Amino acid sequence: MTDFAFPTTTDHRTASFEDITIRGEVELSEESLASVVQLCEGRNHFRFGLPASQGALVVTIGVHVGDRLGEDEAPWMHYSMNWDPTVEFDRPEKLLARKAILARLTEIVPRHPLDLVAQFEAPNYEAFSFPLPIDVGPLGVSGFSQIRGARLAQADEGDPQRELYSVILDGRPTGPVSATVLATIESDLGSDVFSVAMGRAVSVLDLLLSTTDSSKES
């Protein structure tokens, strides 16, 4: 089984790290389809947890034949892996069988675009350079007083309908404020996939963190 190299730090400047999920989908050969279904005990959808060097890793697998955006009847698989360093893994049963599933998954998944969703939390909106909350009185919006959350996105210049990355901010004026980073990386499921994903998430988050926070002043 691939031994994932999970990032050793959970704090980033004024925003603390909560958890991260990577997910993707790939086509399967008939052989790979048979082995995955067998390892997943004959089920088309399977979810299980594994211990990580910190916290726990939760893996979700879905296996299908056809019905993929109107394409041909080729078998395909979607999957997600959520790493949460704050929870304890407390289900040791079938551990070897679960590791065998993850080992097979890392073998058959090639290098491809992976979506990532990373959760961070800051003590208040002052940690970010984006000016929230925003009073809506001057905007003429009746029945509401403030905008306390926002979704900021960077569109692809070559394809405006496609987003390169985005961040969702949501909180109250006195905090805490959650920051959800959504982005894409190109990777296989090698040992460094979570480190690469975290690096990408942090680089996006850096674009919104205020340059006047305490870590910059010290």
Q: Is 0.75 surpassed by the pTM of this model?
A: yes
Does residue 1 fall inside a structural domain?
A: no
- Residue 21 included in any domain: yes
pLDDT at 172 over 90: no
Mean pLDDT of the chain: 85
> Is 49 a member of any domain?
yes
Query: Distance between CA atoms of 4 and 50, rounded to whole angstroms?
Result: 12
Range of the domain at 37: 11-217
pLDDT tens per residue, range 14-52 = 788 899 999 999 988 888 888 888 888 888 899 988 888
Long-range CB pairs of 163-169, under 8 A, 24+ apart, other chains included? 165/204, 167/204, 167/205, 167/207, 167/208, 169/125, 169/128, 169/130, 169/132, 169/208
Quick one: pLDDT at residue 80? 96
Highest mean pLDDT among 46-50, 100-104, 136-140, 185-189: 185-189
Q: What is the pLDDT of residue 43?
A: 87
Q: Give domain status of residue 3, yes or no.
A: no
Percent of the chain scored above 90 by pLDDT? 39
Q: What would the two tokens of residue 82 be?
A: 């959520």
| Contact present, 180 and 168 (Cβ < 8 Å) | yes
Is residue 159 situated within a structural domain?
yes
The answer to the question of residue 127 being in a domain is yes
The closest alpha carbon to 47, from 66, 63, 27, belongs to 63
Is residue 5 included in any domain, yes or no?
A: no
Predicted local distance difference test score (pLDDT) of residue 92? 65
Better pLDDT: 79 or 98: 79
Residue 216 pLDDT level (bands cut at 50, 70, 90): very low
Instruction: Please state the domain count of the chain.
Output: 1
pLDDT of residue 138: 78
Residue 209: its pLDDT value, please?
Answer: 87
Place of tokens 């090698």: 190
- Render pLDDT for 182-210 as a digit per residue (tens, 0 to 9): 999 999 998 899 999 999 999 999 999 87
pLDDT at 217 over 50: no
Burial 68-92 (b: 16+ CB within 10 A, else e): eeeeeeebbbebbbbbbbeeeeeee
- Please give the Cα distance from 33 to 13 (Å, whole number): 44
| pLDDT at position 200 | 94
